[in-house]
Structure 1
């Protein structure tokens, strides 16, 4: 370890089946309570007690219906359907915590930047500056058809739309209102009109002539995350991301992605070390290695192979039911999540994955490493990943909520703290301060949002 702390995010989705497929059947699982506010406030309290940086809430806007051309398999296993809106529980979680951040997935393809900017500023206000946005372009045809399109936009066009979307929201968050626009003067003026200006955006995909509806939040621009690992996704991350999410199962694979994105960020004029990389990991921990392995075997007995095939068929836009389950998968260009296709076809030169092997592998861990052992064994493996992959931390999954988060907090975090690998208390009060240190609440000067900062008209 270089002395930099390991950063921890909890990983959840407002649904029953997310990274672990079929484990809602386990008697200890409370996954079915995703629709209860107490489920989310309990989660937030557990993570803050464990000094996690943030809770990352994933999302998808369409049902999974690629496998066998039907949503039936996904419904049987509760995979991402039913699902609730991920934004609406954040205020309640913020009310029961003081420092935990919240990163939420929202698609640039199906939002309007003008109204979306207000949503995120509202959450920045209500959380006291603890909000982040995971930018996705959405990969499900079902989402496209249900949200007004006849078919999904091509992969690279989605990113072209996203680039303009970012320009618009940066203008709304950074350039429309001066810091001192709200004056509340004794003369009865609440906002000085001279300190508010329209963004006047005219582009290919969006026209936004007016002023931002909200006064600036604590961070102005929320912390920006990105998870795409296709070449165009990496380029997008290099330009915009402060946090990058990775789904790989070997440190060497993660190292290649980290190196590539950092080099691209440097070419964009950004400090490559300012980008923080988080690998998904599922941790099954107990007092001893033997107990942890027994717990993992128990969890694996509830995993659904068909459900895993249904989820990954939708992610990759490849109907795995139409393939020989025991024949190695070949890379093909799709409009799905190309990084997921690469994960099981080209990224690992030493392994050929069959659909059946993929389903069995992702049943508990969702495509990332499954680390089972005592607190010392888990800490050793997390430290190895940081050293070999060059990552900054982990998105810790919760396959049996809230048991696995609670176990990690109670058993692994104290061991990591004993080794000096994670902090014992929070520094600063905003999510961006978790990234860059106390006092850094606004985007860095080398971030593209910074060029839109307000300056009074001449």
Structure 2
């Protein structure tokens, strides 16, 4: 008989003050405002490893949230993902103080050539001994497009077409450019690399021309664990070709179930084992020793929660706070002259403004476990067994309180119930820890066809 389904456990972070917990950086004792200090990241990493988390998952954006109220002023006041720093640069610091903790870094395929990116990821994979994954995104902020010389966003389907070719280039660099035994470091002969074991990729496509060879030698995983955040139709098809771990969500559990089924079907169409794709969701956990502890924490969260931060994060093309709660979204858009705004088409025009803003908050609670530790564990087990997810990205309302509460109160119970391993397996790569049979891409993965030879990585 198989044992209980295990939980993949990541800590959800971003190199900024206010990531997705708007206003909560003001909670007493919160360290979020210290993100510029390397000590914040090394402390966080040590705590996460002591708590036996699988990875720290680092989000990122390349622009400011400037749709709401026609500018970035609200985002700036709220510290909403601005100021923010590069997620990759904190990984070596965290890796240096840990042995097992993995790291998922977000990087876009839309605004950077694949060649230098591939080298940076290989470098991280070397420095961490195979503990990194790449969260592939195509970017969605209009300001990001303008930051890279465009007048507006690249059309959604086109962004994914570009991403597909980007993936082809990096697979060629990571998987095909170097033989696993190319580096010989032969002192007697004075040879570092056997030249006939390294080759250019000579890629010529619609978007990119890359000669190669890759500048980095093969790392533990060659291709870092491929992660993708998606729930869109184009994203689902892309995930079926590439993703090993999918970060998804939705307004309810039924939507998430449909996304899981759709991605697995897409993976199967691409000749992959559909069960090899794992799914994680953003999860809110508020717990304490007693119910009164939990009530007190919820009251503190409500005291500091920022609705304006949430509205700016949603990039709304109108201002709900300027309208009575019973006015429809459509009427509000009309009064502000925004019916033709690109962001208006996806809004529920017949819904009242009050219901709409309340629904934004509820969406963030699709996967929320609130209560004593036993109640939290029961909720997580429901997500695993009934919804079908494989893991969570734990949202930090309080740094480091959220992590410490989970480590002290929830983690031990999950281990007792067989949902979490008791300790790490020394030397595992991130791919192996999150369900892979080995450190390299599985043979049925899209990227594996770019291998020159099936030679094990040293």
TM-score norm. by structure 1 comes to: 0.91
User: Match of 2:103, SS?
Assistant: strand
5 Å-filtered alignment, 1:206-221, equals: 206-221=208-223
Q: Distance in 1 between matches of 2:387 and 2:329?
A: 25
5 Å-filtered alignment, 1:154-165, equals: 154-165=155-166
Query: Is 1:26 aligned to residue 31 of structure 2?
Result: no
Query: Is 1:77 aligned to residue 75 of structure 2?
Result: no
The 10-residue stretch of structure 1 (176-185 or 284-293) with the greater mean CA deviation from structure 2? 284-293
Residues 5, 421 of structure 1: 8 Å contact kept: yes
Match of 1:4 in 2: 5
Q: Distance in 1 between matches of 2:356 and 2:65?
A: 17
Query: Is 1:92 aligned to residue 93 of structure 2?
Result: yes
Match of 1:387 in 2: 385
Match of 1:410 in 2: 408
Match of 2:423 in 1: 425
Match of 2:433 in 1: 434
Q: Distance in 2 between matches of 1:138 and 1:334?
A: 19
The root-mean-square deviation of aligned C-alpha atoms, in Å, is 2.6
Q: Residues 59 and 233 from structure 1, CA distance in 2 versus in 1: closer, same or farther, beyond 3 angstroms?
A: same
Residues 431, 440 of structure 2: 8 Å contact kept: yes
Give 1:68 deviation, angstroms: 0.7
Q: Residues 335 and 448 from structure 1, CA distance in 2 versus in 1: closer, same or farther, beyond 3 angstroms?
A: farther
Q: Residues 169 and 288 from structure 1, CA distance in 2 versus in 1: closer, same or farther, beyond 3 angstroms?
A: same
Unaligned residue ranges in structure 2 (runs of 5+): 331-338
Give 1:385 deviation, angstroms: 1.1
Q: Distance in 2 between matches of 1:318 and 1:268?
A: 38
5 Å-filtered alignment, 1:6-405, equals: 6-185=7-186, 186-313=188-315, 318-321=317-320, 326=326, 354-361=355-362, 366=364, 368-405=366-403
Give 1:373 deviation, angstroms: 0.8
Give 1:334 deviation, angstroms: 8.9
The 10-residue stretch of structure 1 (292-301 or 447-456) with the greater mean CA deviation from structure 2? 447-456
Q: Distance in 2 between matches of 1:78 and 1:359?
A: 19
Q: Distance in 1 between matches of 2:360 and 2:4?
A: 37
Q: Distance in 2 between matches of 1:245 and 1:175?
A: 28
Q: Residues 254 and 423 from structure 1, CA distance in 2 versus in 1: closer, same or farther, beyond 3 angstroms?
A: same
Q: Distance in 1 between matches of 2:132 and 2:323?
A: 42
Residues 327, 355 of structure 1: 8 Å contact kept: no
Q: Distance in 2 between matches of 1:407 and 1:143?
A: 36
Residues 289, 373 of structure 2: 8 Å contact kept: yes
Unaligned residue ranges in structure 1 (runs of 5+): none
User: Match of 2:304, SS?
Assistant: coil
Residues 98, 429 of structure 1: 8 Å contact kept: no
Residues 251, 388 of structure 1: 8 Å contact kept: no
Q: Distance in 2 between matches of 1:264 and 1:309?
A: 33
Q: Distance in 2 between matches of 1:360 and 1:169?
A: 38
User: Match of 2:378, SS?
Assistant: helix
| Count of matched residue pairs | 442
Give 1:403 deviation, angstroms: 0.9
Q: Residues 295 and 448 from structure 1, CA distance in 2 versus in 1: closer, same or farther, beyond 3 angstroms?
A: same
Q: Distance in 1 between matches of 2:85 and 2:243?
A: 26
Give 1:442 deviation, angstroms: 0.2
Residues 293, 372 of structure 1: 8 Å contact kept: no
Q: Distance in 1 between matches of 2:118 and 2:207?
A: 16
Give 1:252 deviation, angstroms: 2.1
Q: Cα deviation per residue 1:121-170 (whole Å; 9 max; x = unaligned)?
A: 00000000001000000001101111221211111111110000000000
Q: Residues 6 and 351 from structure 1, CA distance in 2 versus in 1: closer, same or farther, beyond 3 angstroms?
A: farther
Give 1:352 deviation, angstroms: 10
Q: Distance in 2 between matches of 1:412 and 1:23?
A: 22
Q: Residues 170 and 320 from structure 1, CA distance in 2 versus in 1: closer, same or farther, beyond 3 angstroms?
A: farther
Residues 69, 317 of structure 2: 8 Å contact kept: no
User: Match of 1:372, SS?
Assistant: strand
Q: Residues 369 and 16 from structure 1, CA distance in 2 versus in 1: closer, same or farther, beyond 3 angstroms?
A: same
Q: Cα deviation per residue 1:247-287 (whole Å; 9 max; x = unaligned)?
A: 23532221111111111111111111100100110101101
Q: Distance in 1 between matches of 2:328 and 2:344?
A: 19
Give 1:367 deviation, angstroms: 5.6
Q: Distance in 2 between matches of 1:334 and 1:224?
A: 34
User: Match of 2:12, SS?
Assistant: strand
The 10-residue stretch of structure 1 (86-95 or 425-434) with the greater mean CA deviation from structure 2? 425-434
TM-score norm. by structure 2 comes to: 0.91
Q: Distance in 1 between matches of 2:224 and 2:352?
A: 39
User: Match of 1:277, SS?
Assistant: strand
Q: Distance in 1 between matches of 2:15 and 2:382?
A: 31
